[in-house]
Structure 1
Amino acid sequence: MHESSTVPVNLDEIFSHLKRNLQIKEIVYKILSQNVINQTAQEGGIIVTAQEVQAEADRQRHEMRLEKASDTLAWLADQMISPDDWEVGICDRLLTEKLAESLFAKEVEKFFAQNRIQFDQVLLYQIIVPTESVAQELFYEIEEGEISFYQAAHIYDSDEKRRQQCGCEGTVYRWQLKPEIAAAVFNALPKEVISPIQTTLGYHILMVEAFIPAELTPQRYQEIRDRLFQEWLTSEINYRLHNQT
């Protein structure tokens, strides 16, 4: 919204809408986040160059297939922002990336080493049913070969999505599992069907398809770095909110 005339509502109406829909806190948090990022980057001498902004703008245009300048201007008009607004937004995101790397690049390997076990992954299948009697019956039928694990999940699982996927939960980290589930899963053998375990969700029958040992891949590096950065940013914002003068 470079100019109020580009939008058929005024700023007061926008602000009122945000308040009515309980979105003010989210917006304020984002503004405070950017303020903290800008101040910290300035103190650390971290900048984003015009060339970097241009390169990112070109990348985005290519990704969205905005081949002509007129296509880009039409897209910006549809987003109700000016070219300057777009470039400022790109600059903010690049600055955030640079600051996160500056603050936490050296901490990632240390964090990964200290928490390596939590980054072990497993390709997991499970069936969740509401009662112990059903869970035990299914477990025995699977063990005796009367029905396959996948068939049982497709018919009996309490979750529609999991039924459609024949019990497949996909690849999950150890830390994403409840402690009692994680203990059983990571002590099992591949393809072993684990006897029913009760949680607040019901009775779980589990099967491990494969174990994936923790490795500091580029994707995991970024996940850890971003996690550390967000924790730091939240702490900084909370400090400022509770220490206003």
Structure 2
Amino acid sequence: MTQTITITHEEIIHEIKLSCKMPEIIEQIITRKAIANAAKEAGIEVTNEALQRTADALRLISKLETAEDTWAWLEKFSLTLDDFEQIAYTNFISAQLANHLFADKVERCFFEDQLNYAGAALYEVVLDDEDLAIELFYAIKEDEISFHDVARQYIEDKELRRKGGYKGIVHRKDLKPEISAAVFAAKPPQLLKPIVTSKGVHLIFVEELIQPNLDDKLRATILSDMFSEWLKQQIEQFAVLEQFEVI
């Protein structure tokens, strides 16, 4: 027999506290309020057409192809249509605010910090045993085994193992300093000597070094990075004026 359980708003808040997620939720509330306040000060306006385009994009990202899909998604997350519109509204003003604050600063940021946007196409296997990593390094150098075979034998993650340890295009700023120094000093294609970090012993093959180019993708990345840093500063400075009490 199916049993019905009643869950109150107070219990939901209490569960958030018990799961130690209250700081995360408060930070999200502060973020939303900081964006709304800054957008209002900047005079950013939202038209019905713009809101509809943003809502359509949100449906596309969430793979909500039909009205039934949308209603099921809303029900799953206990959202109303007004809530969905609020999400679309916040997404829209966030994008507009990011452009308002930083669009004209992207090129300067790129040229001042373009070394950090240099990329490397690399393959990586992380091991626990340094002696084993050294042994495999020399075995690959002597063509006794291929890097792909090493990846297939020692990588636990299924998808990464299937790709032979290929990490894609990785930027300097996304790598640990000890790894980025070795990677960007390489002469590709080159297998690097094992590098020890807190995560383990890294066996890395550098396929190609890629000089940064300020294309649309990188421009969007820099804009997002600058906006994220701005939000971080707002969270640190924002005063939480509203308080609530769970009865």
Q: Please classify the TM superposition score into its range, dividing by the shorter chain length.
A: 0.7 to 0.9
CA deviation digits over 1:189-223, x for unaligned, max 9?
Answer: 22222223333334333211122221222222222
Aligned to 2:191: 193
- Range moving further from structure 2, 169-178 or 123-132: 123-132
Aligned to 1:147: 145
Aligned to 1:160: 156
Task: State the SS of the aligned residue for 1:147.
Answer: coil
Q: Which whole-Å CA distance do the structure 2 matches of 1:185 and 1:115 have between them? A: 18
CA deviation digits over 1:153-179, x for unaligned, max 9?
Answer: 333x3x412555433233211122222
Cα–Cα, structure 1 residues 143 and 56, in superposed 2: closer, same or farther, change >3 Å?
A: closer
Aligned to 2:65: 65
Aligned to 1:81: 79
Aligned to 1:210: 208
Cα–Cα, structure 1 residues 13 and 202, in superposed 2: closer, same or farther, change >3 Å?
A: closer
Q: Is the 8 A contact 2:58 2:88 kept in 1?
A: no
Task: State the SS of the aligned residue for 1:90.
Answer: helix
Task: State the SS of the aligned residue for 1:124.
Answer: strand
Aligned to 2:168: 170
Cα–Cα, structure 1 residues 172 and 71, in superposed 2: closer, same or farther, change >3 Å?
A: closer
Cα RMSD of the aligned pairs, angstroms, is 2.7
CA deviation digits over 1:53-75, x for unaligned, max 9?
Answer: 12333444565122x5x765565
Cα–Cα, structure 1 residues 28 and 210, in superposed 2: closer, same or farther, change >3 Å?
A: same
Aligned to 1:112: 110
Matched, 1:14 2:12: yes
Task: State the SS of the aligned residue for 1:166.
Answer: coil
Cα–Cα, structure 1 residues 37 and 131, in superposed 2: closer, same or farther, change >3 Å?
A: closer
| Letter matched to residue 100 of structure 1 | A
| TM-score between the two structures when normalised by the length of structure 2 | 0.82
Aligned to 1:39: 37
Aligned to 1:51: 49
CA deviation digits over 1:30-50, x for unaligned, max 9?
Answer: 111121111111111111112
How far is 1:10 from its partner? 2.6
- Equivalent of 1:230 in 218, 228, 231: 228
Aligned residues: 234
Q: Which whole-Å CA distance do the structure 1 matches of 2:241 and 2:72 have between them? A: 44
| TM-score between the two structures when normalised by the length of structure 1 | 0.82
Q: Is the 8 A contact 2:64 2:70 kept in 1?
A: no
- Structure 1 unmatched runs, 5+: 1-6
Q: Which whole-Å CA distance do the structure 1 matches of 2:137 and 2:78 have between them? A: 58
How far is 1:80 from its partner? 2.7
Cα–Cα, structure 1 residues 190 and 96, in superposed 2: closer, same or farther, change >3 Å?
A: same
Cα–Cα, structure 1 residues 86 and 150, in superposed 2: closer, same or farther, change >3 Å?
A: closer
Cα–Cα, structure 1 residues 240 and 128, in superposed 2: closer, same or farther, change >3 Å?
A: closer
Aligned to 2:124: 126
